[in-house]
Amino acid sequence: MDAKAIEVGPVLSARQTFVVPLYQRRFAWQEDRLEPFWSDLTSKATECLDGKSQRYAHYMGALIVLPRRYEVGRVQALHLVDGQQRITSFQLFLAAIRDLAEELGLTTMSDQLRASLQ
């Protein structure tokens, strides 16, 4: 197994598709899991805005992915074996920020977020 630490930004913005295998449970995070997730994100943002951290990295836990067979001309697909709840939460969070940026007329930000969510 090839385990390595990778920041969440490159994971979400890479040209790849995550496929959740059928045997995995549906998205099930409720407030008891989403509140700590939100707290982690807001505390990291506060650190960065207050100049206490120069890094925007956030430890999101482990993701276990298995590459699917590669086909020329297709976006790489990865089976998401563990971490589907976390990665889905990050994507929903980024989609909500994208929508808010659009409402506020922040087109550069909304365009960047749209590109990372495709």
In the chain, which ranges are continuous DSSP H helix? 8-13, 31-49, 84-103, 107-116
**Residue-range definition of the domain harbouring residue 105:** 8-116
For 73-93, how does the pLDDT look when each residue is reduced to its tens digit (9 = 90+)?
Answer: 677 788 888 888 888 888 888
Domain for residue 1, yes or no?
no
Domain for residue 2, yes or no?
no
**CA 100-36-86 angle, 5° bins:** 70
Number of domains in the chain: 1
Domain for residue 110, yes or no?
yes
Domain for residue 3, yes or no?
no
Assign 6 a pLDDT band (cuts: 50, 70, 90): low
Mean predicted confidence (pLDDT) in 43-50: 84
